[in-house]
Amino acid sequence: MRIGLALGAGGANGFAHILMLEAFEALGLRPARIAGTSVGAVIAGLYASGRSAAEIDAIAGELAVRDSHAWRELLLERKLLRWLELFDPAIGRGGLVSSRAFLNALYGQRMPETFEELHIPLSVVATDFWGRGQVVLDAGPLLPAVQASMALPGVFTPVRIDGRLLVDGGTVNPLPYDLLVDDCDLTVAINVTGKRSPKAALSFVDSVLNTFQIMQSAIIAEKRRHREPDIYIEPDIVDVRALEVGRRDTVYAQSGPARDELKRRLAEAVEARIRGG
C-alpha cells in the first residue's frame, strides 16, 4: 500500500509532526511520498533524507534550547518597522532574518544537496509572490526549496528560484495532501495550525501571525469541502505562538492524543487492506 503523507504549515506547532512520524515508525510503516509546506517542509525534508523520528526530535531539541531566547529578543527588541520591509524593497530584503541561516543551523551537514538524493520522494510548496500562485518544488537543490517554503512574509526573507520571488507556501496551500492523492492508495494529512484562546488584547506580532493562521485554516477547510484526505489528523494545540520554538514540550504534550489516533487509524487502514486483498 502506497501511503502519502502531507505535513502542514504551523510554525512551532510543527513539532507535532515528529510525533506523527513516531506513529508511522511504531507500525513499521514508511510513506511512499511526502509533501510539506513551511515547517512541514522542514520536517519532511529531514525525514525524507533518512532521519528517524528520534533523530529529528534530537535536532528539534537542540533548536528549542538554543533559539528560544534569540527568537524572543528578535520579536521584542527589533523595531516593528522592520515588519514592513516586505512591502518596500528599498528599505530591506523583505524579512527580519534569513531562513537560510535558520536552516543551516537546523540541518547542518545532515542533508543531501538535491531532491534526487532523498530516500523518499518529496514535494514542497512555496508561493510565487508576484505571480500570486502555488509553486511545487520537487527537483534540483533542496535547501533553497525548503527555505522558500518557510519564508513567512515579514519574518524570513523571500527566496528567488528560477527568476521567481518565493515566499511561504502556507499562503496558498498550507496542507498539500492534494499533491499526493493521484499517486497514493492512502493519503494522510496532518494539520498543525493550532488554536488561540480569546484574549482581551493582542500584540502586534500576535495580530499579524494569528491573521495568517486564520487564512490558512480557511484554505484548509475549503480544500476539505472539495476533497477529504483518507486520514485527517489535527492535534489540539492551543496557545503556542508561531515562533515559540522553545515550547516543544508543550506541543508534544498537547499532540500525544493525535499521535495515538493516527497510529490507530493507520493500523485500521492496513488491516482493511489485508482483508480486502
Per-residue pLDDT tens over the stretch 5-54: 999 999 999 999 999 999 999 999 999 999 999 999 999 999 999 999 99
Task: Decide if pLDDT at 142 tops 90.
Answer: yes
Closest by CA position to 169, among listed 12, 37, 44: 37
Judge whether 128 counts as a catalytic residue. no
pTM summary value = 0.89
Which CA distances in Å does 143 have to 42, 107, 111, 162, 177? 9, 9, 8, 14, 21
Q: Which one of 123, 149, 168, 178 is the catalytic residue?
A: 168
For the chain, how many structural domains are there in total? Answer: 1
Whole-number pLDDT of residue 103: 75
* Residue bearing the bigger pLDDT, 94 or 186: 186
Judge whether 168 counts as a catalytic residue. yes
Q: Which one of 38, 99, 123, 149 is the catalytic residue?
A: 38
The mean per-residue pLDDT over the stretch 198-220 comes to 82
Whole-number pLDDT of residue 169: 98
- Give the C-alpha separation, 205 to 140, whole Å: 34
C-alpha torsion sign, points 159, 162, 164, 168: negative
Q: Which domain holds residue 138?
A: 3-276
- The string of DSSP codes covering 216-236 is HHHHHHHHHHH---SEEE---
The mean per-residue pLDDT over the stretch 243-248 comes to 84
CB atoms within 10 A of CB 121: 17
Question: pLDDT tens-digit profile of 103-117?
Answer: 776 777 668 999 999
Can you give the CATH number for the domain in which 216 is found? 3.40.1090.10
C-beta of residue 98 within 8 angstroms of C-beta of residue 157: yes
Tell which phi-psi region holds residue 163, choosing left (phi > 0), alpha (psi between -120 and 50) or beta.
Answer: left
Whole-number pLDDT of residue 65: 56
Task: Decide if pLDDT at 88 tops 50.
Answer: no
Whole-number pLDDT of residue 156: 83
C-beta of residue 80 within 8 angstroms of C-beta of residue 45: no
Whole-number pLDDT of residue 172: 98
The burial of 133, by beta-carbon neighbours within 10 Å (0-12 exposed, 13-18 middle, 19 or more buried), is given as: exposed
Closest by CA position to 134, among listed 144, 143, 124, 142: 124
The burial of 95, by beta-carbon neighbours within 10 Å (0-12 exposed, 13-18 middle, 19 or more buried), is given as: buried
Binning pLDDT at 50, 70 and 90, where does residue 74 land? very low
C-beta of residue 96 within 8 angstroms of C-beta of residue 78: yes
Percentage of residues of the chain with pLDDT beyond 70: 83
Whole-number pLDDT of residue 7: 99
The mean per-residue pLDDT over the stretch 53-62 comes to 90
The mean per-residue pLDDT over the stretch 74-78 comes to 42
